[in-house]
Amino acid sequence: MTGRKIVADTYGGFSHHGGGAFSGKDPSKVDRSAAYMARKIAKDFVREGYAKRCEVQLAYAIGVAEPVGVYVNTFGTSDYALEQLVGVVRERYDLTPQGIIKELNLLDVDYTKTTCLGHFTKPYLPWEQ
């Protein structure tokens, strides 16, 4: 099954998303894994005091392992320049598909737990920790 209710699976229209579905894709597909990683990075930034509110966007091109674009939006809640935050993202996280799979242990996730009430806000999922 692919293309399953992407808005409901993410943030219900509250946040931006690239439109790629998660269901039916293995973790090597950045439609799924990079969305999870962007969520983790945003949560890390808020938890660590970089911002009170944060959204991270990662853009990939076919055949290119590293993201071609990294964007951080703190909605005016950070004392850091956005360029500084992007630098932190690029320096601190391995954003290749294999790096994301390793960081979030995506080969060992029970994805059946994402089929009800979406892919986010469940504290037992690795990208929420």
Please write the tens of the pLDDT for every residue from 6-22: 544 554 444 555 555 56
pLDDT digits (tens, 9 = 90+) for 27-75: 788 888 898 899 999 999 999 999 999 999 999 999 999 999 999 999 9
At residue 53, the pLDDT reads 96
Whether 76 has a pLDDT exceeding 50, the answer reads yes
**Domain regions of the chain by residue span:** 6-128
Residue type, 12: G
Annotation: CATH topology of 6-128: GMP Synthetase; Chain A, domain 3 (3.30.300)
